[in-house]
Structure 1
């Protein structure tokens, strides 16, 4: 069941003109980590029409949002955070919300983690 693999992409850090530390998503600044032993399943699909841009009842564009739920194998807790991006099957996806750690009921250690990732086009 845990035969999928994803690549966690984490932004580096750079200083902006105001002296603030901000994420740096440039190719040379990001770090990548291959995460194995996960299960990826479809989670959500939505199509949204945005007529506010055209000023008419006809939508100016349609946005499609697709999501997947990721669950790690029992006994694993991959290093994935809400601010990360995920590469999977040629797609670049965003982690949606927080990464949930599920506790082992027998000893309280991390049993596995779950999170959702999504892709929006439009």
Structure 2
């Protein structure tokens, strides 16, 4: 995971991704989003689209924020929305979040 500092720019504050720092490396379950990606239910099977959004489940409670980025298989993704705890079994927890491919 990468976290960039907030810096002043002409519009106020912005993330400086050229100064991003790693905040952790984790093993995770990364699953393609089913809604809005891949094959839509009403589309023909020969009209596939590129999946650019994934659900991520990291064991335990990890330091991830909604403004972070994730490097996955050599590509960058933005964390979308707020990460949340996902209960697993009786005493287990995962940190769950959605990530979307960074364009450009």
TM-score by length of 1: 0.60
Identify the structure with the greater strand proportion. 1
Which runs of 5 or more structure 2 residues have no equivalent in the other structure?
40-48
- Moved segments of 4+, more than 4 Å: 103-107
Structure 1 residue 117 displacement after superposition: 0.8
Matches within 5 A, 1:1-122: 8-17=1-10, 20-26=12-18, 29-44=19-34, 45=37, 66-73=52-59, 76-103=60-87, 111-119=93-101
Higher Cα Rg: structure 1 or 2?
1
Structure 1 Cα separation of the partners of residues 103 and 88 of structure 2? 37
Given that 1:42 and 1:68 are in contact with CA atoms closer than 8 Å, whether structure 2 keeps it comes out as: yes
TM-score by length of 2: 0.69
Deviations 1:56-81 (A, max 9, x none): xxxxxxx95521111012xx111111
Structure 2 Cα separation of the partners of residues 104 and 65 of structure 1? 26
Task: Give RMSD over aligned pairs.
Answer: 3.0
Which runs of 5 or more structure 1 residues have no equivalent in the other structure?
1-7, 48-62
